[in-house]
Amino acid sequence: AQSVTQLGSHVSVSEGALVLLRCNYSSSVPPYLFWYVQYPNQGLQLLLKYTTGATLVKGINGFEAEFKKSETSFHLTKPSAHMSDAAEYFCAVTRSGNTPLVFGKGTRLSVIA
């Protein structure tokens, strides 16, 4: 079975500071990994995804993530936080085209002015 662990249910950073949201996964087969963002009272928006190939993945809004197989990690980073980045972030894993996504519990990002 696949699973996702997101370390830290709440992360708070200052505007302009580095954002680092941690995600570790468990999978017996090569994983496909995703980061989604959820703004209050909204659905999920895809930030970025790792399928195959380059392990450093760039997404929307300046976010990027690096797939590290040896560490079973897929941490999300952004060099400089913006107030508009405040939201809930979810890491998810799947293993094939039709297998459902398995989500972590989410990390709430707060950005302090």
Partner 1 sequence: DAGVTQSPTHLIKTRGQQVTLRCSPKSGHDTVSWYQQALGQGPQFIFQYYEEEERQRGNFPDRFSGHQFPNYSSELNVNALLLGDSALYLCASSLWGTGDSYGYTFGSGTRLTVV
Which chain residues interact with partner 1 by CB under 8 A?
A: 4, 32, 34, 36, 41-46, 49, 51, 90, 92, 94-106
Nearest residue (CB) to partner 1, 2 versus 73: 2
Smallest CA-to-CA distance from 93 within 44, 45, 35 is with 35
Residues 2/95, Cβ–Cβ less than 8 Å: yes
Nearest residue (CB) to partner 1, 34 versus 63: 34
Per-residue tokens: 93: 């894993």
* DSSP code at position 101: P
The nearest distance, CB 10 to partner 1, in angstroms, is 11
Adjacent-strand bridge partners of 12: 110
- One-letter identity of residue 13: V
The nearest distance, CB 113 to partner 1, in angstroms, is 25
Nearest residue (CB) to partner 1, 14 versus 61: 61
CA distance 53 to 80: 26
Nearest residue (CB) to partner 1, 53 versus 70: 53
The nearest distance, CB 93 to partner 1, in angstroms, is 10
